[in-house]
Chains A and B, each alone.
Chain A
Amino acid sequence: MAANDARGNAVEMRDAFGQTLVELGRQYPKMITLDADLHTSSKATMFKQAYPQRFIQVGIAEQNLFGISAGLALSGFMPFPSTFAVFATRRALDQIAISICFPNLNVKIPGSYVGLPTSRAGASHNCIEDIAVMRALPNMRVADPADAADLRAIMRAAAEVHGPVYFRIARLAMPPIFGADHKFEWGKGVLLREGRDVTLYSTGIMTTFCLNAADLLAAEGITADVVHLGSIKPIDRELIAASAARTGCAVTAENATINGGFGAAVLEVLGEACPVPVQRIGVRDRWADSGGIKELFTHHGMQPVDIAVAARKAIKAKGGALK
């Protein structure tokens, strides 16, 4: 996960976010970035510097942040109201639901500081339920990028589609999985690695963890499909079902609570299309407290080694022989 990772030089997701805001600002003159007193943390500050006239500071008032964004969208603009994911999806849920999603307005919502890595801010700031909450809203699209290239592609795809979008930005530097030419498509996943014994479905930064888990499993002679689903809603039903049909069991992994989130979304598809034994990796109905990043992933059982253990359980549950 660090800059010296074997997979290449890690890139701060926040930096990619700020840079892409600026890039989109150049392309879309009707784009406006709004902030609730957090722009140097989220890196929306890069947009502020590039386009000061199209940057709106609302102060520490998230309900107002999303209401104003609705009004701007109703005036033909494309707002990006930027704040921490907890404040967007907890404090301002009603405004996002009724002022924005209900009339299907063109508002793009970046949720910063998602999941466990939030610089030791603790349970109040570690946003773990946003996937569950946002994907429950009609009209809302939800995405969680694996790396900087994926985040850039998601932001471009968000701007290209009409309607509300929620996308996650982890406060972490991630090694590159995708190249600069990477394309993101709503409702399409990516089969990153092909195997026979188990499928590892992942979203967000957990995709790197799953690739590392697949390496661990490979050393034991177990081969895994690794399926990255950056688009959580809509979700790639065909790819999910096709992979499970081949491998017969699965693990889901998300940087969030497993209650109602990404793993649940995959289970909904598998339950209807291809029922197989599934293990879920994520925060297990508890708060995500302060702590070091590595420490937290160990504490919550979300390390690659935990994913490998879950994979073995899933293989056992389908009656497969463990080598």
Chain B
Amino acid sequence: MQLSPEKLSELDEMAYQIRRLSVEMITYGKWGHIGGSFSMAEFLSTLYFQVMGVKPGEPDWDGRDRLVLSKAHGSPALYAVLALRGYYPIDEVYTYCELGGFEGHTDMTRTLGLEASGGPLGMGLSVAVGMALGMRFKENARGRVFCILGDGETNEGNVWEAAMSAAHYHLDNLIAVVDYNKVMAKGFVWDEMAIEPFADKWRAFGWDVIEVDGHDLAALADAFHRARWVMPRGKPIVVIAHTVKGKGVAMAEFNYKWHTHAPDPATADAMLKELARTYGRPELGYSKLGEPEVKEDFYGGE
């Protein structure tokens, strides 16, 4: 499957903007996960701007594809792509982690376009299985449910309960996407809890497997096209996206110290300028640089 140069350049721009907005949100919200947001940028861009059938103006449209972010700490990247896709104005992402705004982890009652709520790892694939069964009940053959999992997340037993059942129910309308960025919260996957042979595990559970460079937009578009239209044969499909945690900013790349960490405004400014140079964009820093900072200390007084 071939993408036009215009489409490729659109997907590339969206991936850049997903990273940009993730840094903006995490810095302004003073909390969040840069590494795991960056590693998803290309496949989120591809899913929302090439693969998935959605109507942002009609979010409850029954014929839509659905996406469950099981690694719900990657919320900044998802909030960014939903804004870019037109679910809400881009300015709304700055409510991230503010009281009454977008939640730190996904809360579907707060953010338009979210299909589920989450936070604790290991739970989203089961929800996606329920949605895929729901599509079957409604005899919707074209719809697909996408579920994004972290690599470390597959340490959770619930993932494999869900994987076993998806194969048992022959859910070839379910496409899991694993963000295999090799880095967990406090260390490396191979060191903390080895998951290899990873593709074989999914195959043994009855899934079809596609492995892809998770930062190659053309390869991703091709992988999702195959997963959606070419491969379905009564088996659920997993796209293992080989990614680099923190991809785009040198200090965060392949570095678990940037799993959960909010940069200070000056660092965010440097990160964003580096990101702009990497993407060959005009140098643009942190948009809220210089805004007075609220001290976080609180001891119960005035």
Residues of chain A touching chain B, judged by Cβ–Cβ distance below 8 Å, are 32, 56, 58-59, 61, 63-64, 66-77, 79, 94-95, 98-99, 102-104
Distance, CA A67 to CA B161, complexed state (A): 10
Confirm or deny: B35 has a beta carbon within 8 angstroms of a beta carbon on chain A. Answer: no
Do A69 and B130 have beta carbons less than 8 Å apart? yes
Do B130 and A70 have beta carbons less than 8 Å apart? yes
Cβ–Cβ < 8 Å partners of A74 in chain B: 115-116, 127, 130-131, 134
How big is the B interface, by class?
20 to 34
Closest to B117 in A: A103
Cβ–Cβ < 8 Å partners of B162 in chain A: 64, 67-68
Partner of B107, one of A76, A99, A103: A103
Distance, CA A102 to CA B168, complexed state (A): 28
Distance, CA A32 to CA B128, complexed state (A): 16
Distance, CA A76 to CA B137, complexed state (A): 11
Mask of B110-131 contacts with A, CB within 8 angstroms, 1/0: 0000011111101111111111
Do A68 and B164 have beta carbons less than 8 Å apart? no
Cβ–Cβ < 8 Å partners of A102 in chain B: 107, 117, 119
Closest to A81 in B: B130
Do A95 and B130 have beta carbons less than 8 Å apart? no
Cβ–Cβ < 8 Å partners of B135 in chain A: 75
Distance, CA A200 to CA B97, complexed state (A): 47
Given contacts A75-B134, A98-B118, contact A63 B107 (CB under 8 A): no
Cβ–Cβ < 8 Å partners of B131 in chain A: 71-72, 74-75
Do B107 and A72 have beta carbons less than 8 Å apart? no
Report the minimum CB–CB distance from A154 to chain B (whole Å). Answer: 24
Report the minimum CB–CB distance from A76 to chain B (whole Å). Answer: 7
Distance, CA A99 to CA B124, complexed state (A): 8
Cβ–Cβ < 8 Å partners of B95 in chain A: none
Distance, CA A69 to CA B4, complexed state (A): 41
Please name 4 further chain A to chain B contacts, defined as beta carbons within 8 Å, in addition to the given A32-B137, A99-B118, sorted by A numbering: A61-B164, A61-B165, A75-B133, A99-B126
Report the minimum CB–CB distance from A114 to chain B (whole Å). Answer: 24
Confirm or deny: B289 has a beta carbon within 8 angstroms of a beta carbon on chain A. Answer: no
Closest to B118 in A: A98
Do A98 and B133 have beta carbons less than 8 Å apart? no
Partner of A70, one of B116, B119, B122, B132: B116
Closest to A56 in B: B133
8 A–B pairs (Cβ distance < 8 Å), ordered by A = A67-B124, A68-B165, A71-B127, A72-B130, A74-B134, A75-B138, A102-B117, A102-B119
Distance, CA A74 to CA B135, complexed state (A): 11
Do B133 and A72 have beta carbons less than 8 Å apart? yes
Do A59 and B126 have beta carbons less than 8 Å apart? no
Confirm or deny: B101 has a beta carbon within 8 angstroms of a beta carbon on chain A. Answer: no
Confirm or deny: B154 has a beta carbon within 8 angstroms of a beta carbon on chain A. Answer: no
Please give me the 8 A-B residue pairs with the lowest Cβ-Cβ distance, nearest first.
A71-B130, A67-B126, A75-B134, A64-B161, A68-B130, A61-B161, A71-B131, A63-B158
Do A94 and B117 have beta carbons less than 8 Å apart? no
Confirm or deny: B108 has a beta carbon within 8 angstroms of a beta carbon on chain A. Answer: yes
Cβ–Cβ < 8 Å partners of A94 in chain B: 120, 123
Partner of B125, one of A32, A59, A67: A67
Do B116 and A59 have beta carbons less than 8 Å apart? no
Cβ–Cβ < 8 Å partners of A77 in chain B: 134, 137
Closest to A76 in B: B134
Do B158 and A71 have beta carbons less than 8 Å apart? no
Do B127 and A68 have beta carbons less than 8 Å apart? yes
Do B120 and A98 have beta carbons less than 8 Å apart? yes
Closest to B114 in A: A103
Cβ–Cβ < 8 Å partners of A70 in chain B: 116, 126-127, 130
Mask of B57-69 contacts with A, CB within 8 angstroms, 1/0: 0000000000010
Do B119 and A98 have beta carbons less than 8 Å apart? yes
Given contacts A68-B130, A70-B130, A71-B130, contact A63 B164 (CB under 8 A): no
Cβ–Cβ < 8 Å partners of B164 in chain A: 59, 61
Do A63 and B126 have beta carbons less than 8 Å apart? yes
Partner of B116, one of A76, A103, A104: A103
Partner of B130, one of A63, A75, A104: A75
Most buried by B among A61, A63, A67, A77: A67
Distance, CA A98 to CA B132, complexed state (A): 20
Cβ–Cβ < 8 Å partners of A73 in chain B: 130
Mask of B16-42 contacts with A, CB within 8 angstroms, 1/0: 000000000000000000000000000
Report the minimum CB–CB distance from B134 to chain A (whole Å). Answer: 3
Confirm or deny: B157 has a beta carbon within 8 angstroms of a beta carbon on chain A. Answer: yes
Do B134 and A95 have beta carbons less than 8 Å apart? no
Do A64 and B116 have beta carbons less than 8 Å apart? no
Partner of B127, one of A32, A61, A67: A67
Do A71 and B126 have beta carbons less than 8 Å apart? yes
Distance, CA A253 to CA B129, complexed state (A): 41
Distance, CA A95 to CA B70, complexed state (A): 12
Distance, CA A147 to CA B158, complexed state (A): 36
Cβ–Cβ < 8 Å partners of B127 in chain A: 67-68, 70-71, 74, 99
Confirm or deny: B109 has a beta carbon within 8 angstroms of a beta carbon on chain A. Answer: yes
Given contacts A77-B137, A98-B123, contact A71 B161 (CB under 8 A): no
Cβ–Cβ < 8 Å partners of B138 in chain A: 75
Report the minimum CB–CB distance from B293 to chain A (whole Å). Answer: 31
